[in-house]
Amino acid sequence: MNYKHYATDFNLAKEPIAECLKEGTLKLILGAGISMDFGLPNWPDLIFKCLNALLSEKGENQIERKDFDENFSKNEKKLNQYDNEPTYSQTVRDSLYSEVPPNLEDLLLQGAPGLLAIAALCTGTTRGRVRHIFTLNFDDILEQYLALLGLKVNSGSSFKRENYNADIRIDHLHGYLPRNEDNLSDIVFSPRSYTARYAQTHGFDDWFVNQWIGSKLLLIGLSGSDQLLQTNAIKHKNLLGNDDIHGYALLTPNAYEDNHLDLVNNGICPIKIPREEIPKFLLSCCQIASDL
């Protein structure tokens, strides 16, 4: 895999990704970077908010931010004490949307370059389009945006759910907490839930790898270090038994330095790109695909 030239000029990666889009083989896997412009917290902030909310519900002292940051791993494990509570998913959902405006429509219309770019990948017929998105996010910001554009979305966290007729299928791999629904799914959030999730034998890994076969994954808004991705990338590569590129990852410079070698070893081509350039990059891929 010759990936090093993408570290110096991310524009060189546009055409191969556009070719996947044109062929209809491109699928997306999204992380927290997609929804942050709308008031949703990043991962450490969400854990901090949730943990203090859970402590408050129990009448216990809250954690100061400085202490939380200095002992992040230790504090994260405290979630294990609460992840079986009946109100756990509700508390996480409340923390997730606590700073999101009640009416998102105007905000979505005013400035959502990342969501606009993803929506562009999901539309179009003659140049190919994305029909399947995996996301590690709990929120439904993307669903709200696609609905605003008149697209029918099949969203959920159960990979066994019916694949009914829709413009786009979105699988929330770690759980789904839509803002205005009462029935919330179980979520993978505490360290214990991660361990339990990857120890289960209910067919999820086989399903995920099978969904990947014949496609190329494009990682957006992720650091590249997620256990689900790395574990199944290894399985996918071993199953195919070749050194081809099985996906691409748009990584910020810091994430690139931390994780690009692991991704390369697992068949995913890393692309170093500033976060603010990602929407324009994706829109360019759409434009190139239409000319192929």
pLDDT at 120 over 60: yes
Give the residue range(s) of CATH 3.40.50.1220 domains in the chain. Answer: 4-38+110-291
Contacts of 180 (CB under 8 A, 6+ apart): none
pLDDT at 111: 66
Mean pLDDT along residues 69-84: 90
The pLDDT confidence band at residue 218, using thresholds 50, 70 and 90, is: very high
Q: Which SS3 state, helix, strand or coil, does residue 16 take?
A: helix
Architecture of domain 4-38+110-291: 3-Layer(aba) Sandwich (3.40)
Mean pLDDT along residues 37-56: 88
pLDDT at 83 over 90: no
Alpha carbon distance 188, 173 (integer Å): 8
Q: What is each CA distance from 279 to 36, 104, 147, 212, 245, in whole angstroms?
A: 14, 20, 20, 24, 23
Q: Let me know: does 214 contact 226? Beta carbons within 8 Å.
A: no
Residue position matching structure tokens 């905000």: 107
pTM summary value = 0.86
Q: Let me know: does 90 contact 184? Beta carbons within 8 Å.
A: yes
Alpha carbon distance 139, 224 (integer Å): 20
Alpha carbon distance 54, 15 (integer Å): 47
In 60-101, alpha helices (H)? 65-70, 72-76, 88-96
The pLDDT confidence band at residue 1, using thresholds 50, 70 and 90, is: low
The pLDDT confidence band at residue 291, using thresholds 50, 70 and 90, is: very high
The pLDDT confidence band at residue 42, using thresholds 50, 70 and 90, is: confident
pLDDT at 142: 92
Alpha carbon distance 223, 234 (integer Å): 17
Q: What is each CA distance from 102 to 29, 60, 97, in whole angstroms?
A: 27, 29, 9
The pLDDT confidence band at residue 160, using thresholds 50, 70 and 90, is: confident
DSSP conformation class of 86: T
Q: Let me know: does 68 contact 48? Beta carbons within 8 Å.
A: yes
